[in-house]
Structure 1
Amino acid sequence: MAEVVRDRESLLARIIPLGGDRRLIGIAGPPGAGKSTLAGWLEARVAERCGAEPQRVAQVPMDGFHLRTAVLAERGLRDRKGAPETFDRDGFADLLCRARTATGEITAPAYSRELHEPVPDAHRIPASVRLIISEGNYLLLPDDGWARAGECLDEIWYLDVSWAVTRQRLIDRQIAGGRTPEAAAAWVDGNDKRNTELVAAAAGRATVILRP
């Protein structure tokens, strides 16, 4: 059974101090839960504790493995963007597994909310890195490719935030991206709600559940 914690400092205590073998930590949760914010906070706190040089912490976010819009259109998946089948899950799992044992520098892609496309080589992971943080909706899914990605991680934490909170955040995000309020709500209540339900169903597989 997953351990339940209420504050971010408890999570920081699980990964400090760093040393020895490289560790990979995953942060899962529904769309709009604040996974990237938590990952950024952890990265900053670890860097603060360990010093900026040499680099000790880096990120490999799942969102960098979005399939490109042209590929989604070709596969008839444009209206499902953000769903599990709209990611390169095998490429994501391959990079995580390679990152565990890499002795030289590797890079990872990021997702641009301005371009609405993945950006290659946006994250740098030099050999000095001892902690890799990976955040994404689907790290706990038991399906083939996602399960393989999860197996490359030492722990997966689930960020548990209510639908009422994430729904408004997601609508605001869609409006900021150019949709009308009506179109934003329709997208969130259709696409994002389905994805949220899928993610929440796998929460019990987490090592730790954070309920802020």
Structure 2
Amino acid sequence: MAPEHLNLTPQQALSRLVPHILEMQSNAHARIAIGIAGGPGTGKSTLASEIVIMLNATHPGSAAVVPMDGFHIRHAKLEAMGQTDFKGAPHTFEGAEFVSFLHHLKSAKTAVSGPGYSRRIEDVVDNAFTIGPDVRVLVVEGNYLLLTEGPFAGVKPLLDYAVFIDVPRDLVQARLLKRHAEEGLFSEDRNRAHIERNDLPNYDLVRLSQDRADVVISLLTDH
């Protein structure tokens, strides 16, 4: 079935998604997973965090973010593989580990810690978050949640509801330039080359997976 397509501001998106998730939560007999997918620079991490804040305002401690980014292959390993120029592409993630982690999380009865990713050091951070036993809603966010190839194909069956966030390509490019510059780790020329070689092709790839979502939200924003 084709997904519903909506044009919404970020605030309208929250107003649409949060009540729906709350209803799903009240009808569920087990932990549920909500996927927030989209290309790099589309604002999915921010939206996922705001959804969790609003869910927890209604039912404290009931929701938590699960970031896909913690499953980047570690930088040292990528260097050994000669793949640092392609960091962020699907093959530079531990996709099978991510699927296994999600599968475990959905049925876990005890606290489970997971890895995160720090842009400050451009590497994985162990035990960056912990999902407590009382969490009922996992808000899973990442680029490749809806891919059909490789290990990431195992993610979609674990999602109870999937949202795809779409933002125009030129706006994504501007956001990524700003993001890469914030930590001051690389030159502007390096950042621009990385975005053209890697981030934008990843954005294009991810957009091809949007029809697997339950709803596609084109975010109306000018920055």
CA distance in 2, matches of 1:26, 1:132: 8
CA distance in 2, matches of 1:151, 1:35: 20
Contact 1:60 1:109 in 2 (8 A): no
Letter of the 1:198 partner, please give it.
L
Counterpart of 1:3? 4
Q: TM-score, normalised by structure 1?
A: 0.95
Counterpart of 1:72? 78
> Does the alignment pair 1:28 with 2:37?
yes
Counterpart of 1:136? 142
Q: TM-score, normalised by structure 2?
A: 0.90
Counterpart of 1:63? 69
> Does the alignment pair 1:162 with 2:176?
no
Counterpart of 2:155? 149
Deviates more, 1:180-189 or 1:58-67: 180-189
CA distance in 1, matches of 2:129, 2:167: 27
Q: Which runs of 4+ in 1 moved over 2 A?
A: 17-20, 177-183
In structure 1, the residue corresponding to 2:155 is in which secondary structure? helix
Q: CA deviation at 1:139?
A: 0.5
Letter of the 2:56 partner, please give it.
A
CA distance in 2, matches of 1:181, 1:81: 17
Letter of the 1:171 partner, please give it.
L
RMSD of Structure 2 on Structure 1 (CA)? 1.2
Contact 1:158 1:206 in 2 (8 A): yes
> Does the alignment pair 1:206 with 2:207?
no
Letter of the 2:160 partner, please give it.
D
Which ranges of structure 2 fall in alignment gaps of 5 or more residues? none
In structure 2, the residue corresponding to 1:138 is in which secondary structure? coil
Q: CA deviation at 1:35?
A: 0.8
In structure 2, the residue corresponding to 1:168 is in which secondary structure? helix
Counterpart pick for 1:190 among 177, 181, 197: 197
Q: CA deviation at 1:13?
A: 1.8
Contact 1:50 1:56 in 2 (8 A): yes
In structure 1, the residue corresponding to 2:47 is in which secondary structure? helix
CA distance in 2, matches of 1:106, 1:69: 24
Deviates more, 1:14-23 or 1:66-75: 14-23
Q: CA deviation at 1:105?
A: 1.1
Letter of the 1:195 partner, please give it.
N
CA distance in 2, matches of 1:21, 1:186: 45
> Does the alignment pair 1:172 with 2:181?
no
CA distance in 2, matches of 1:145, 1:195: 16
C-alpha distance after superposition, 1:150-182 (max 9, x if no partner): 211112110010111110000111112322222
> Does the alignment pair 1:38 with 2:44?
no
